[in-house]
């Protein structure tokens, strides 16, 4: 198997709307996007509201197909391959915790993906139990989603993707609608999954979250402004670039810059640097 | 106008198998012109409390003493209540319900739109559904401001916005408070915002009011806050970690600026 | 939250024998019971049906008070049925007569007959919904209907629609409550005024509610697609339903009950 899970080549995407006269108007949402994601990598895609990051996410598992260029998932072109084959490789967790759970019983919801893939009932049971324990939601397995907190609902959504055993998970702003404790729960799970070898793509507008990735891609108005490590991105020299993209430095990086600490972007790194 | 909450209790589905006590004997005062913040975890009763203050719920027992006509409330994700054909018409909805005629309502609406940084001449005639997320939210807030409230309640007004949008909305609220001398009641999860803007903090936990003090005093009791599942301002969190590992840092460090000062 | 207080077709949590029966058995039994009510011709057999139902209710552990709540909502319908039957049933034994209204013994008999039938219908069907989780009910229906899918009945699609409806009813009720409160805070009045004013007052509620519903629908469709949903073909199910011995016994009792009703009709017993 190739070492690249995802290969994006000159991807462009347009939204088409009709005006009052019935003429088609093209709104360019993505322009000339190219990057690769290696197996086991943790890539963050950041940008302000309206930068095109969600559109990009949906191009990664054939929910949208490119208007220009192409997206390869495990060497399959999303325009040609069966979407089921693509989506059983790349799973997705969405922003709104309420609107992505299908069943009114937690464990039935987790089973939804594997059921669609036609997995044997006994194996589905095992996968569901394993996925629920991975996100520490086993005790809530019989509950209705409307009785859970936002963070818990997102954990169920993650379990639903884990039960599909995809190679890669795309998180499309999974913490945007959560409170700080919910946000922490989800980020801890994402890091844990990455440590266990899952390929993780995290779309976010929180720079503190992006600082924890191996690689950060900055999107602005549908174009890539930056692609590199968080340590390279969050430096004083890039302040202008971040301003242009309407983004803020993580607090740790910004404090470190004022204090003259080098290579500090996360809270943990700041604490270590300050103790020296 | 001061707001007095006395022994307020609210029980949902009383007598049913799924009865829940949402508020349990809350007593507190919010003074005129104050920037108050209500913090607590999801389900702690913050939203129920502000809905009582706004007069939208009937207490099971106890009372709220305030003139409801002078209280405006902005709900979470307020853009979901927009419904009119144009921005201006939507903002006029409140004033018209108060009995103002078309012209007066429009004048109030235009003032309110300007306050939230939306140019009524430029955007007043647009459909609210075609605006960006941040603009929709500002229009929704204008819809409440147009009713000329003396007290403005905001239930997590920045939820779901990106960091720049978040800062923009809070700065705007703080400006409007100063300009119009409003009382602000902010429901928030974000301790950095509370530390930065609030003068008075009410901490809710399991339907009870567990702390009622200035932000400084509240954040001094960091352990108690963490015990009920709340966070601390970022500066204090980092300072605590440093102290745990043996670095001497003053107890007064709460904000980003404090921490910068302490580490310089 | 206030709207959620309304109890409609609600599930009453429990672990009774009735709760634990296979939903398919319960659906068939309920249908059979409802049909049997139309076979009954005499009060004495209504009494028999009522006793059978009462035993089931007792076994289920659902308080009678809770069941009676469902009745309150349709009391008007029952009364109306009674009045109509009383007035329009032709008969010979006239009890009294004023102006053009004639009340006959047959009319009164029929009025009570219909009322009892309606009450038993309501109790019988609410026992099903009270003791079966909506999701199990949907599941049971899908499985019962699946042989019909060969005839072109979209059993899976119907069941999926019901599943989703069940999942999103609480969400939409919450949303309604929230929008209603928000517009009330902006001075909207949903209670006073004549019919036209009331209808107009609903616009600020309905427009945002539709927008929300469409947003939820499009989010959900996307999430389902992302989880490889492609209709019912090739789909497996985690929970296979298995009949237990208690289900078999329930079935036997059902057959005995139904036989008794048929026999009574056949031979004009009682």
Nearest to C240 among A92, A118, A121 (CB): A121
**What pLDDT is recorded for position B15?**
67
Both tokens assigned to B19: 């009865």
**What pLDDT is recorded for position C109?**
85
**What pLDDT is recorded for position C9?**
57
Is residue C141 domain-resident?
Answer: no
Chain B contacts of A245, Cβ < 8 Å? none
- In this structure, of B63-77, B166-180, B219-233, C53-67, the range with the lowest mean pLDDT score is C53-67
CB contact under 8 A, C185 and B13: no
pLDDT of C145 higher than 60: yes
pTM, entire model: 0.87
Nearest to B63 by CA among B27, B14, B19: B27
**Does one domain contain both C102 and C179?**
no
Chain C contacts of A88, Cβ < 8 Å? 228
Chain A contacts of C234, Cβ < 8 Å? 118
pLDDT of B5 higher than 70: yes
C14-52 confidence digits (pLDDT tens):
888 888 889 899 999 999 999 888 888 788 888 888 999
Chain B contacts of A259, Cβ < 8 Å? 260, 263-264
**What pLDDT is recorded for position C4?**
43
**What pLDDT is recorded for position A181?**
87
For range B60-65, the mean pLDDT: 94
Nearest to C212 among B54, B80, B96 (CB): B80
**What pLDDT is recorded for position C7?**
43
**Does one domain contain both C198 and C168?**
yes
Q: Measure Cα distances from A204 to A153, B192, C98, C140 in Å.
A: 18, 20, 80, 41
Q: What is the DSSP string of B58-86?
A: --SEEEEES-GGGEEEE-SSGGGG--SSS
CB contact under 8 A, A102 and C239: no
Burial of C80 (0-12, 13-18, 19+ CB in 10 A): exposed
Instruction: Specify the DSSP element, H or E, that contains A232.
Output: helix A230-233
Put residue B254 in one of left, alpha, beta given phi > 0 → left and psi -120 to 50 → alpha.
Answer: alpha
Spatial neighbors of C252 by CB under 8 A, at least 6 apart, are: none
**Does one domain contain both C35 and C120?**
yes
The residue that leads in pLDDT, B169 or C9, is B169
A114-125 confidence digits (pLDDT tens):
999 999 999 999
Q: What is the DSSP string of C147-174?
A: GGGGGT--HHHHHHHHHHHHHHHHHHHH
Chain B: which residues have CB within 8 Å of chain C? 12-13, 16-17, 22, 51, 54, 56-57, 72-73, 75-76, 78, 80-83, 93-94, 96-98, 129, 143-144, 147
**What pLDDT is recorded for position C269?**
57
The residue that leads in pLDDT, B103 or C163, is B103
Nearest-neighbour CA in chain C from A78: distance (Å) = 13
Cβ–Cβ contact A187 with B under 8 A: no
Spatial neighbors of C72 by CB under 8 A, at least 6 apart, are: none
Chain A contacts of B12, Cβ < 8 Å? none
B194-242 confidence digits (pLDDT tens):
999 999 999 999 999 999 999 999 999 999 999 998 989 999 999 999 9
* Confidence tier at A1 by pLDDT (50, 70, 90): very low
* Confidence tier at C6 by pLDDT (50, 70, 90): very low
pLDDT of C5 higher than 60: no
Nearest to A88 among C228, C235, C236 (CB): C228
Cβ–Cβ contact A271 with B under 8 A: yes
**What pLDDT is recorded for position B16?**
66
* B30 alpha carbon, distance to own chain's centre: 13
**What pLDDT is recorded for position B252?**
85
**What pLDDT is recorded for position B18?**
67
Tell which A residues from 117 to 156 touch B, by Cβ distance under 8 Å.
149-150
**What pLDDT is recorded for position C136?**
85
CB contact under 8 A, C171 and A146: yes
**What pLDDT is recorded for position A13?**
96
Helices assigned H by DSSP within A6-120:
53-59, 83-87, 106-116
Mean pLDDT across chain B: 93
Nearest-neighbour CA in chain A from B247: distance (Å) = 7
Is residue C211 domain-resident?
Answer: yes
Nearest-neighbour CA in chain C from A210: distance (Å) = 24
Q: Measure Cα distances from C64 to A202, A210, C50, C73 in Å.
A: 53, 57, 13, 15
User: Which chains would you list as touching B if contact means 3+ CB atom pairs under 8 Å?
Assistant: A, C
Spatial neighbors of A251 by CB under 8 A, at least 6 apart, are: A208, B234, B256
pLDDT of C270 higher than 70: no
Burial C131-169 (b: 16+ CB within 10 A, else e): bbbbbbbbbbbbbeeeeeeeeeeebbeebbebbbebbbe
Residue of chain B nearest C4, judged by CA positions: B13
**Does one domain contain both C197 and C261?**
no
Chain A contacts of C238, Cβ < 8 Å? 107-108, 111, 114-115, 121, 124-125, 128
**What pLDDT is recorded for position A21?**
80
Mean pLDDT across chain C: 84
Chain B: which residues have CB within 8 Å of chain A? 41-43, 132-134, 159-165, 167, 189-191, 229-231, 234, 237-238, 241-242, 245-247, 256, 259-260, 263-264
Q: Is residue B144 a contact partner of residue B111, using CB atoms and an 8 Å limit?
A: no
**What pLDDT is recorded for position C268?**
64
For range A158-182, the mean pLDDT: 94
Residues of chain C above pLDDT 70, percent: 95
Domain A4-89+166-275, CATH homologous superfamily name and number: P-loop containing nucleotide triphosphate hydrolases (3.40.50.300)
Structural domain containing residue C58: 2-132+241-266
Is residue C28 domain-resident?
Answer: yes
Chain C contacts of A108, Cβ < 8 Å? 135, 238-239
Sign of CA dihedral C127, C128, C130, C132: positive
pLDDT of A251 higher than 80: yes
Residue of chain B nearest C65, judged by CA positions: B16
Max mean pLDDT range (C8-17, C70-79, C179-188): C179-188
The residue that leads in pLDDT, A276 or B189, is B189
Residue of chain C nearest B98, judged by CA positions: C187
Cβ–Cβ contact A101 with C under 8 A: yes
**Does one domain contain both C188 and C115?**
no
Residue ranges of domains in chain B, CATH in brackets: 3-215 (3.40.50.300)
Nearest to A274 among B42, B43, B263 (CB): B263
Count how many domains chain C has.
2
**What is the distance between the terminal CA atoms of chain A, rounded to a whole angstrom?**
45
The residue that leads in pLDDT, B257 or C262, is B257
Chain B contacts of A252, Cβ < 8 Å? 238
Cβ–Cβ contact C225 with A under 8 A: yes
Cβ–Cβ contact C16 with B under 8 A: no
Is residue C234 domain-resident?
Answer: no
For range C90-99, the mean pLDDT: 75
Instruction: Specify the DSSP element, H or E, that contains A91.
Output: strand A90-93
For range B181-192, the mean pLDDT: 95
Is residue C67 domain-resident?
Answer: yes
Spatial neighbors of A101 by CB under 8 A, at least 6 apart, are: A109, A145, A153, A156, A157, A160, C167, C223
Is residue C231 domain-resident?
Answer: no
Chain B contacts of A150, Cβ < 8 Å? 42
Nearest-neighbour CA in chain B from C33: distance (Å) = 29
B16-46 confidence digits (pLDDT tens):
666 789 999 999 999 999 999 999 988 899 9
Residue of chain A nearest C218, judged by CA positions: A99
Mutation site for B-interface testing, chosen from A97, A205, A211, A221 by largest number of B Cβ within 10 Å: A205
Nearest-neighbour CA in chain B from C77: distance (Å) = 26
**Does one domain contain both C118 and C54?**
yes
For range C159-185, the mean pLDDT: 89
Chain B contacts of A270, Cβ < 8 Å? 238
Is residue C146 domain-resident?
Answer: no
**Does one domain contain both C178 and C102?**
no
CB contact under 8 A, A119 and C236: yes
A52-105 confidence digits (pLDDT tens):
999 999 999 999 999 999 999 999 999 999 999 999 999 999 999 999 999 888
CA atoms within 13 A on the CB side of B247: 17
* Confidence tier at C182 by pLDDT (50, 70, 90): very high
Nearest to C170 among A107, A146, A157 (CB): A146
Nearest to B147 among C179, C183, C186 (CB): C186
C120-C126-C129 Cα angle (round to 5)? 155
Burial of C77 (0-12, 13-18, 19+ CB in 10 A): exposed
Residues of chain A above pLDDT 90, percent: 85
Residue of chain C nearest A125, judged by CA positions: C238
Spatial neighbors of A272 by CB under 8 A, at least 6 apart, are: none
Chain C contacts of A111, Cβ < 8 Å? 237-238
Nearest to A71 by CA among A98, A36, A115: A36
Nearest-neighbour CA in chain B from A94: distance (Å) = 13
Across the A:B interface, residue pairs with CB atoms under 8 Å apart total 68
**Does one domain contain both C120 and C187?**
no
Residues of chain B above pLDDT 70, percent: 98
């Amino acid at each position: 198997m190739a070492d690249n899970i995802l290969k994006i080549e000159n991807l462009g995407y347009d939204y088409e709307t009709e005006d009052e006269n019935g003429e088609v108007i093209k709104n360019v949402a993505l322009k000339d996007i190219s990057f690769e994601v290696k197996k086991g990598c943790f890539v963050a895609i950041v940008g302000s509201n309206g930068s095109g990051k969600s559109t990009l996410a949906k191009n990664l598992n054939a929910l949208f197909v490119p208007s220009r260029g192409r997206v390869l998932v495990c060497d399959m072109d999303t325009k040609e391959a069966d979407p089921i084959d693509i989506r059983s490789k790349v799973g997705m967790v969405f922003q709104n915790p309420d609107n992505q759970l299908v069943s009114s019983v937690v464990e039935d919801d987790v089973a939804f993906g594997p059921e669609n893939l036609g997995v044997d009932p006994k194996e589905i049971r095992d996968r569901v139990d394993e996925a629920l324990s991975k996100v520490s939601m086993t005790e809530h397995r019989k509950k209705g989603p409307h009785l859970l907190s936002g963070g818990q609902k997102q954990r169920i959504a993650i379990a639903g993707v884990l039960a599909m055993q995809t190679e890669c998970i795309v998180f499309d702003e999974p913490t945007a609608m959560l409170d700080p404790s919910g946000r922490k729960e989800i980020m801890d799970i994402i890091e844990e999954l990455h440590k266990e070898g899952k390929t993780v793509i995290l779309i976010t507008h929180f720079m503190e979250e992006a600082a924890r990735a191996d690689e950060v891609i900055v999107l602005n108005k549908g174009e890539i402004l930056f692609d590199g490590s968080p340590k390279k991105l969050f430096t004083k020299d890039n302040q202008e670039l971040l301003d242009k993209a309407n983004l803020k430095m993580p607090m740790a990086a910004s404090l470190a810059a004022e204090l003259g600490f080098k290579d500090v972007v996360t809270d943990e790194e700041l604490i270590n640097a300050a103790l020296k | 106008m001061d707001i007095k909450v006395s022994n307020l209790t609210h029980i949902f589905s009383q007598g049913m198998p799924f009865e829940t006590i949402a508020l349990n004997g809350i007593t507190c005062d919010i003074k005129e012109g104050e920037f108050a913040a209500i913090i607590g975890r999801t389900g702690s009763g913050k939203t129920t409390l502000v809905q009582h203050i706004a007069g939208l719920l009937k207490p099971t027992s106890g009372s709220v003493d305030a003139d409801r006509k002078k209280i405006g409330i902005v709900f979470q994700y307020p853009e979901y209540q927009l419904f009119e054909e144009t921005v201006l018409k939507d903002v006029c909805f409140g004033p018209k319900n108060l009995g103002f005629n078309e012209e007066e309502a429009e004048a109030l609406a235009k003032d309110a739109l300007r306050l939230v940084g939306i140019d009524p001449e430029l955007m007043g005639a647009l459909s609210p559904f075609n605006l960006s997320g941040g603009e929709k939210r500002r229009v929704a807030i204008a819809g409440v401001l147009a009713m000329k409230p003396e007290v403005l309640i905001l239930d997590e007004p920045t939820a779901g916005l990106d960091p720049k949008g978040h800062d923009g909305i809070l700065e705007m609220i703080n400006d409007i408070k100063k300009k119009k001398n409003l009382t602000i009641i902010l429901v928030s999860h974000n301790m950095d915002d509370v530390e930065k803007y609030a003068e008075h903090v009410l901490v809710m936990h399991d339907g009870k009011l567990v702390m009622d003090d200035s932000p400084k005093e509240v954040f001094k009791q960091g352990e108690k806050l963490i015990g009920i599942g709340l966070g601390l301002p970022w500066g204090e969190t980092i300072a605590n970690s440093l102290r745990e590992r043996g670095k001497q840092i003053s107890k007064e460090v709460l904000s980003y600026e404090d921490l910068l000062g302490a580490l310089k | 939250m206030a709207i959620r207080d309304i109890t409609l077709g609600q599930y009453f949590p429990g672990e009774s024998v009735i709760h634990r029966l296979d939903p398919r058995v319960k659906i068939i039994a309920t249908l059979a019971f409802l049909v049997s009510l139309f076979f009954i011709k005499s009060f004495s057999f209504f009494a028999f049906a009522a006793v059978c139902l009462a035993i089931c209710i007792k076994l289920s552990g659902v308080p009678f008070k809770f069941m009676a709540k469902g009745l309150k909502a349709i009391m008007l319908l029952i009364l109306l049925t009674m009045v109509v039957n009383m007035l329009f049933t032709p008969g010979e034994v006239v009890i009294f007569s004023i102006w053009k209204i004639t009340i006959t013994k047959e009319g009164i008999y029929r009025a009570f007959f219909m009322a009892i039938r309606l009450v038993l219908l309501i109790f019988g069907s609410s026992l099903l919904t009270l003791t079966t989780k909506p999701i199990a009910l949907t599941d049971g229906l899908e499985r019962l209907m699946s042989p019909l899918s060969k005839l072109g009945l979209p059993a899976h699609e119907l069941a999926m629609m019901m599943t989703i409806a069940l999942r999103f009813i609480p969400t939409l009720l919450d949303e309604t409550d929230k929008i209603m409160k928000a517009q009330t805070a902006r001075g909207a009045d949903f209670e006073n005024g004549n019919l036209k004013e009331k209808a107009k007052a609903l616009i600020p509620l309905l427009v945002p509610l539709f927008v929300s519903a469409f947003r939820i629908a499009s989010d959900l469709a996307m999430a389902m697609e992302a989880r490889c949903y492609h209709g019912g073909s090739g789909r497996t199910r985690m929970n296979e339903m298995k009949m237990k011995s208690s289900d078999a016994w329930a079935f036997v009792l059902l057959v005995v009950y139904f036989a008794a009703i048929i026999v009574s009709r056949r031979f004009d017993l009682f």
